[in-house]
């Protein structure tokens, strides 16, 4: 009969087996974790490569150095820009990172359906409006839950995700955003595939694929179009990236920095402590060559874009460092702007082109919609309209009044307002030229505005043509006069019409 092992031997034998099993479990767990981590960090999708944003940020592992990304914000001013979704239900969000020393502006497009992970303190604030929220939240859900406070909450979320300190945010309605895009006539764009959209009147329009030129209405359709695929938000951001790069190049080529600033500040509302009145020098220093547009780091699957906070902070840190190291163009831009301003001032005495200035339009004729019609017409002619309003302090003006700040300005506007009086006075509303539209200018872009463009020497040249078309012109003149009379009878006797309709 075999002798049984004593109790001590049996105990240590059992303990050894347990230790072996525990060691194997630890080894398997570590190996699995490292394998999954390598797989995930090695296959993340960098959308900005598709969007054409050239940068050197790649997924290179998960070392502790990357997890503790430091961002140098010494000369950085970071803000968010929103296009309000009330008009269409489709938002636009961008993070603007400006280096105030080198005047380099990096724009990061943010998916409106972005899913982000937030810290516990911020989650507590979110759960006040979204009790069911977990530490991973969707920006679209936050926007719907927080209503008027959504911009502040999204700003807090983006600070948490990016590691940046934001200076505030700007908001435009979609209508105002389209007006800002209207500062350029058209933008060249390569449309990959045909797509359709409905305009404000519900009419179906189709933009065919191929090289084309987009106006502001078509651009808004392009920037809000979703193709119904699983990666529709990524595709939308790619289109936005390409369009905006071309738009900014055209914008600065066709407009002065001052006009861009005044148009922007007239259309945008700022929040969270940001004051656009202090930003004029920033706009003056902007150069399209120093503006780059990229997409926030992350990946999209099944229609949900997941933001990788670690990679975003690495992305932001790298861009901030590149902007800081860029050759400073601030002094060069300042010198060129001063030179441009001096040239403008010196040439103003000989009749400066009003297209270089921002113009404010005031409806002083008590004809509903008159100022808005002149705005559309003058912008089509290449002028920058920064404000449209009504003016009722003196009753209906019979003669259009053009107010300028320097002698010689506004003379080219007599082409459109031949009977107008030009006055030199101070303007404290932000514009360079004010036009108070009187009852003598109710024929928008018609004979009143075009006949004066013909000089005395040209009248002989056109006399034969005028004789041939005199009957036709007289009939048109009669119809216009009748129409104007009807409008004046409707509004001329009332000094309390709706100011919104007057615009």
In the chain, % of residues over pLDDT 70 = 73
Helix axes 309-325, 150-162, angle to 10 degrees: 80
User: What average pLDDT does this structure show over 274-289?
Assistant: 90
Question: Are the CB atoms for 135 and 120 separated by under 8 Å?
Answer: yes
pLDDT of residue 54: 36
User: What average pLDDT does this structure show over 147-175?
Assistant: 92
User: What average pLDDT does this structure show over 445-468?
Assistant: 41
User: What average pLDDT does this structure show over 40-53?
Assistant: 36
For the ranges 248-262, 294-308, 412-426, 459-473, the lowest mean pLDDT is seen at 459-473
Does 454 have pLDDT greater than 80?
Answer: no
Does 126 have pLDDT greater than 70?
Answer: yes
For the ranges 225-239, 339-353, 446-460, the lowest mean pLDDT is seen at 446-460
Per-residue pLDDT tens digits for 384-409: 998 888 887 777 888 999 999 988 89
Does 333 have pLDDT greater than 60?
Answer: no
Query: Which token pair is 434?
Result: 């004010």
Does 257 have pLDDT greater than 90?
Answer: yes
114-117 and 304-307 beta bridge pairing:
parallel
Residues 391 and 400: their CA atoms lie apart, in Å, by 12
The residue length of the chain stands at 503
Does 57 have pLDDT greater than 90?
Answer: no
Query: Which token pair is 50?
Result: 């598709």
Residues 502 and 375: their CA atoms lie apart, in Å, by 12
Does 184 have pLDDT greater than 80?
Answer: yes
State the maximum Cα–Cα separation within the chain, in Å, rounded to a whole number.
139
Per-residue pLDDT tens digits for 238-251: 889 999 999 999 99
* Banded pLDDT at 327 (limits 50, 70, 90): low
Segments in 349-469 forming alpha helices (H): 370-380, 447-450, 456-468
In terms of pLDDT, which residue wins out, 383 or 38?
A: 383
Segments in 326-391 forming alpha helices (H): 330-348, 370-380
User: What average pLDDT does this structure show over 16-33?
Assistant: 77
Residue 293 CA, chain-centre distance (Å), reads 12
Residues 266 and 264: their CA atoms lie apart, in Å, by 5
User: What average pLDDT does this structure show over 427-447?
Assistant: 85
Partners of residue 6 on adjacent β-strands: none
Per-residue pLDDT tens digits for 289-303: 999 999 898 888 887
For the ranges 25-39, 271-285, 402-416, the lowest mean pLDDT is seen at 25-39
Helix (H) or strand (E) holding 94: strand 92-99
Residues 257 and 244: their CA atoms lie apart, in Å, by 17
Question: Are the CB atoms for 61 and 41 separated by under 8 Å?
Answer: yes
Helix axes 216-224, 174-181, angle to 10 degrees: 130
pLDDT of residue 490: 30
pLDDT of residue 32: 65
Query: Which token pair is 494?
Result: 């009332």
User: What average pLDDT does this structure show over 284-288?
Assistant: 93
User: What average pLDDT does this structure show over 40-50?
Assistant: 35
Does 93 have pLDDT greater than 50?
Answer: yes
Mean pLDDT score of the chain, rounded to an integer? 76
Q: How many helices, marked H, and strands, marked E, lie in the chain? A: 18, 19
Rounded-to-10 torsion of CA 314, 318, 320, 324: 160
Domains of the chain, with CATH numbers? 48-332 (3.40.630.190), 354-502 (3.30.70.2390)
Does 346 have pLDDT greater than 60?
Answer: no
Does 488 have pLDDT greater than 90?
Answer: no
Per-residue pLDDT tens digits for 197-238: 888 888 999 999 899 999 999 998 888 888 888 888 888 888
CB atoms within 10 A of CB 344: 17
Residues 192 and 254: their CA atoms lie apart, in Å, by 27
Question: Are the CB atoms for 284 and 333 separated by under 8 Å?
Answer: yes
Does 169 have pLDDT greater than 60?
Answer: yes
Question: Are the CB atoms for 257 and 282 separated by under 8 Å?
Answer: no
For the ranges 73-87, 290-304, 446-460, 482-496, the lowest mean pLDDT is seen at 482-496
CB atoms within 10 A of CB 497: 16
Does 252 have pLDDT greater than 60?
Answer: yes
pLDDT of residue 446: 63
* Banded pLDDT at 4 (limits 50, 70, 90): low
- Judged on CB neighbours under 10 Å (0-12, 13-18, 19+), 117 is middle
User: What average pLDDT does this structure show over 262-284?
Assistant: 90
pLDDT of residue 457: 35
* Banded pLDDT at 353 (limits 50, 70, 90): confident
- Judged on CB neighbours under 10 Å (0-12, 13-18, 19+), 132 is exposed
* Residue 389, helix vs strand vs coil: strand
pLDDT of residue 14: 78
pLDDT of residue 334: 44
């Amino acid at each position: 009969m075999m002798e049984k092992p004593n109790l001590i031997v049996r105990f240590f034998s059992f303990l050894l087996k347990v230790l072996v099993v525990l060691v194997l479990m630890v080894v398997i767990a570590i190996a699995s974790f490292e394998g999954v981590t390598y797989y995930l960090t090695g296959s993340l999708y960098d959308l900005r490569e598709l969007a054409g944003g050239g940068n050197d940020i790649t997924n290179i592992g998960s070392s502790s150095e990357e997890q503790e990304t430091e961002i140098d914000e010494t000369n950085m001013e970071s803000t968010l820009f929103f296009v309000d979704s009330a008009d269409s239900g489709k938002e636009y969000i961008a993070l603007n990172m400006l280096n105030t020393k080198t005047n380099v502006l990096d724009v990061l497009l943010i998916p409106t359906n972005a899913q982000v992970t937030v810290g516990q303190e911020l989650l507590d604030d979110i759960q006040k409006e979204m009790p069911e929220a977990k530490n991973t939240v969707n920006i679209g859900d936050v926007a719907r839950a927080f209503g008027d406070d959504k911009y502040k909450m999204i700003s807090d979320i983006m600070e948490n995700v990016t590691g940046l300190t934001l200076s505030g945010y700007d908001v435009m309605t979609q209508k105002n955003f389209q007006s800002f895009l209207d500062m350029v006539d058209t933008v060249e764009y390569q449309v990959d595939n045909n797509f359709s959209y409905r305009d404000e009147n519900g009419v179906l329009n189709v933009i065919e694929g191929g090289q084309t030129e987009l106006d502001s209405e078509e651009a808004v359709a392009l920037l809000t179009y979703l193709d119904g695929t699983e990666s529709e938000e990524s595709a939308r951001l790619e289109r936005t990236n390409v369009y905006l790069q071309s738009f900014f190049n055209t914008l600065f080529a066709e407009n002065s920095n001052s006009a861009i600033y005044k148009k922007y500040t007239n259309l945008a509302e700022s929040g969270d402590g940001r004051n656009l009145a202090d930003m004029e020098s920033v706009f003056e220093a902007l150069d399209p060559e120093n503006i780059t547009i990229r997409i926030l780091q992350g990946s999209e699957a099944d229609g949900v874009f997941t933001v990788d906070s670690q990679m975003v902070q690495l992305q932001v840190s790298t861009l901030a460092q590149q902007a800081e190291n860029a050759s400073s163009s601030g002094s060069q831009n300042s010198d060129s702007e001063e030179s441009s301003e001096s040239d403008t001032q010196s040439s103003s005495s000989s009749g400066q082109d009003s297209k270089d200035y921002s113009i404010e339009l005031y409806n002083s004729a008590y004809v509903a919609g008159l100022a808005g019609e002149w705005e559309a017409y003058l912008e089509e002619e290449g002028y920058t309209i920064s404000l449209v309003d009504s003016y009722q302090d003196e009753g209906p003006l019979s003669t259009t009044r053009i107010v300028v700040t320097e002698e010689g300005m506004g003379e080219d506007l007599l082409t459109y307002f031949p009977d107008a009086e030009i006055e030199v006075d101070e303007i404290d509303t932000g514009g360079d030229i004010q036009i108070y539209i009187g009852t003598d200018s109710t024929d928008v872009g018609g004979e009143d505005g075009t006949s004066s463009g013909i000089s005395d020497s040209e009248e002989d040249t056109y006399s034969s043509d005028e004789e041939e078309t005199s009957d036709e012109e007289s009939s048109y003149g009669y119809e216009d006069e009748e129409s104007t009379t009807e409008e004046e009878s409707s509004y001329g006797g009332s000094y309390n019409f709706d100011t919104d309709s007057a615009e």
